[in-house]
Amino acid sequence: MSMPPQWIPRQAQVTIDDQVHDVSKVQVIDEQTCKVFLKDSPGQTVVVDRQQVTKKIAPQWQNFSQAVDSMQQFPRYLTNTLILCILTVIGTVSSSALAAYGFSRIEWFGRDKVFLLVLATMMIPFPVVMVPLYSLFKSLGWIGTLKPLWVGSFCAGAFNVFLLRQFFIGIPTQISESARLDGASEFRIFWQIILPLAKPALVVVALFQFMGTWNDFLGPLIYLTDQEDFTLALGLQFFQSQSGGTQWHYLMAASLLVVLPIIFVFFCSQKSFIEGISMTGVKG
């Protein structure tokens, strides 16, 4: 009977004649003794007292490189994911900022009613529009490409518009009025005055969008058909089922590699993120 597996990777060692030997396998004989297979002498077994066998933590760092090699196209998945993240962040921040500026700093007939209508779209779940969107993208010939995953980001999302609008409302209107008196156009006010002041809120929107795109699984699953276009999230699922059995140590190592960039990005933008959240929540 072999010893049960351990969640924490450990390496067994046995002390024989004051010499420490690495052990490749341990078989329990009874409560007092066990048979060990020595690594430095393949095929050689020794029956020893169980107290002579010790264990030490031995992280398997090679699993990370082997996981990347086993996935084969990990660099390609990473490239596709980064491309989508960059495009969606640019599209979301630019379109949401423009829409939020129109809803907060420019007076026009029916503005508040239209804004309520925009907010109402947040109550529509994605599965409701999934089939119509698929039909639309199919008619455009976009299925099997990355376009369905980033083109929509240039149409401002309701949550991001709401977030930025609340921040823009908190910026004193006297700043914009002074700029208008100096002859500045509306776009110049937006570009040179409002956006620099709204940097914390823009960072929040960008971080939310980056995390959403990085972790998105359903979108790539629906629209992507070629393995060359897979993202990391879809690539992990494909790796899990490609050979009929899951190599869990490689899957966990690859999953950690996928999560690490999100953690790194959050800690790099933590100060602006917390500032943007707090200021957006109290203003307006």
Q: What is the CATH number of the domain that holds 185?
A: 1.10.3720.10
Task: Write the CA distances from 266 to 47, 213, 245, 270, 271, integer angstroms.
Answer: 53, 14, 34, 5, 9
For residue 70, tell me if it sits in a domain: yes
Is residue 120 domain-shared with residue 173, that is, in the same domain? yes
Q: Estimate to the nearest angstrom the gap between the alpha carbon of 94 and the chain centroid.
A: 21
Same domain, 70 and 55: no
Question: In terms of C-beta density within 10 A (0-12 exposed, 13-18 middle, 19 or more buried), how is residue 255 classed?
Answer: middle
- Segment among 9-13, 221-225, 252-256, 280-284 with least mean pLDDT: 280-284
Instruction: Give the SS3 label for residue 27.
Output: strand
Please check whether residues 49 and 137 belong to one and the same domain.
no
**Do 228 and 149 share a structural domain?**
yes
Residue pLDDT, tens place only, 162-178 = 999 999 998 888 988 89
Give a yes or no: residue 192 inside a domain.
yes
* Range from 93-97, 259-263, 266-270 that averages highest in pLDDT: 93-97
Residue 38 sits in the same domain as residue 82: no
Is 4 inside a domain boundary? no
- Predicted confidence (pLDDT) per residue in 194-220, tens digit: 999 998 899 999 999 999 999 999 999
167 & 198 share domain? yes
Work out how many domains the chain is built from and give that number.
Answer: 2
pLDDT in tens, 95-117: 999 999 999 999 999 999 999 99
What's the token pair of residue 53?
């066998």
Residues 49 and 82 in one domain: no
Domain match, 85 and 116 both = yes
In a domain, 136, yes or no: yes
pTM for the complete prediction? 0.79
Task: Indicate if 81 and 102 belong to the same structural domain.
Answer: yes
State how far the alpha carbon of 173 is from the alpha carbons of 108, 147, 176, 179, 256, in Å: 16, 39, 5, 10, 47
Going by the DSSP 8-state scheme, the letter that residue 269 receives in this structure is T
| 262 and 148 part of one domain | yes
Asked if 178 and 38 sit in the same domain, the reply is no
3 falls within a domain:
no
Same domain assignment for residues 130 and 34 = no
> Residue 124 sits in which domain range?
64-282
Q: SS3 of 23, please?
A: strand
